[in-house]
Amino acid sequence: MKYTKLERNWVMYDVGNSALVLLSTSVVPIYFNAINTGASAHELVSAWANAQTAASLVVALLMPVLGSLADFAGNKIKFFTGFFLTGLVLCFAQAIPMSAFAFLIVYVLCTIGLNSSMTFYDAMLCDVTEDDRMDAVSSSGFAWGYVGSTIPFIVCLAVIFGGPSLLGLDTMFCTRLSFVITGLWWLAFTLPLIRTYRQRFAKERRPDDTLASIVVRSFTGLGSTMRAIAQNRVICIFMVAFFFYIDGVHTVISMATSYGSALGIDSTQLILALLTTQFVAFPSAIIYGRLAGRVGTLRMIIVAVVAYVAIVLFAAFFLKTATEFWILAIMVGLFQGGIQALSRSYFGRLIPKERANEYYGFFDIFGRYASVMGTLLVSLVTSLTRNPSLGVLSIGILLIVGLVMLVKLSRIEGATA
């Protein structure tokens, strides 16, 4: 499949932001654990889960309102650029030596900037391609994001592990340099999209529109969108299913390294295993996009949810050593990109394009509140039982609920086919 220039530039943003996502799920939790001296294993897992919860909650509260404003012609790129720059500055700020608590605050604010920009980025999918190309383009974004993000990540690892022995630099200093390297990579792969993006679908401004009237119309639009979602059975059921199953996906991604570190697995093994995840995820996401065109997008999403149930059970009952963490990393790589890419493109085909940001704002509410619920659940169960494995196991309940809703949706699709 040959991609247009705009499709390629859209995919490139996934290459850029995925570098920060990879760093945040691998090196950052280990760095936080290192500067948070004296904390026990369950305290480290709980603190990291609480940080993820806080970031997800803020994004979920902001996105529907800002998404509605962004749907007006010319606004989408402004909101995207604003949140991208916020995340970029705070990414660099994490390189400044500071206390564990201060670092956690900066990390949360950086994550808010990153995830908010990704909401507007997701909504751009409707502008950069057509319905029949969405699965392939969305999957390519995740696929190239996975493999592309390994380049700055390998450079960061070389600095972290080679700096002390070859240059005599402090390990913590070398780790902080990784934030600078990653931020520069993110910037380089974002500029092409900012330069070339044009908003095709939008709510038109009226000649007499003022800032106040636009804000009022945005809130009115939110109400009508909520009613439209509630009245559209397919969208409603999918969003409820998404709320539950994406919880497992996001929580496994965000908590894996922290969980492995708390179990005492060597940090080098954790990082190399997660690097392997990126290489496995690259062809897997591409294959997922192609299979969706042959057997159906919804069916492939269901397959991935079933796989994630198995992943959670494996993590809770069998994950004890570095070998098992490698197995977990490979299993995640097989399904991680596919389920995220197809969820994004499946939803994009269901919604009215001129209100894409508004709908993706609600899509993000369901995804981010699910993340709040998942990480909070892990934190609560881990704190109460002092057993991280039981915290991980609790995620399986939410995945199963999502699976049940997806099966119900597939029956509706079958009945209307």
Please check the confidence at residue 338 and state whether its pLDDT lies above 90. no
pLDDT digit string, tens, across residues 293-312: 888 888 999 999 999 999 88
pLDDT, averaged across the chain? 81
**Cβ 176 vs Cβ 91: under 8 Å:** no
Distance CA 46, CA 58 (A): 18
Identify the band that residue 195 occupies on the pLDDT scale cut at 50, 70 and 90.
Answer: very high
The per-residue pLDDT for 235 is 87
Please check the confidence at residue 417 and state whether its pLDDT lies above 60. no
Average pLDDT over residues 140-154: 85
Greater model confidence, 12 or 318: 12
Distance CA 140, CA 271 (A): 24
pLDDT digit string, tens, across residues 38-97: 666 666 767 777 787 788 778 777 776 776 676 666 778 888 999 999 999 999 999 998
**Cβ 230 vs Cβ 236: under 8 Å:** yes
Place of tokens 């093994």: 269
Full-model pTM: 0.72
Distance CA 207, CA 190 (A): 33
Under DSSP, the state recorded for 72 is: B
**Cβ 286 vs Cβ 139: under 8 Å:** yes
The per-residue pLDDT for 380 is 81
Average pLDDT over residues 246-271: 73
Identify the band that residue 357 occupies on the pLDDT scale cut at 50, 70 and 90.
Answer: low
The per-residue pLDDT for 243 is 85
The per-residue pLDDT for 17 is 92
Token readout for 102 is 């201060």
Distance CA 84, CA 106 (A): 15
Please check the confidence at residue 332 and state whether its pLDDT lies above 90. no
The residues, ordered by sequence, that sit 6+ positions from 323 with a Cβ below 8 Å of its Cβ are none
Identify the band that residue 208 occupies on the pLDDT scale cut at 50, 70 and 90.
Answer: low
Token readout for 153 is 């990540």
pLDDT digit string, tens, across residues 361-376: 677 666 655 556 777 7
Please check the confidence at residue 248 and state whether its pLDDT lies above 90. no
Please check the confidence at residue 187 and state whether its pLDDT lies above 50. yes
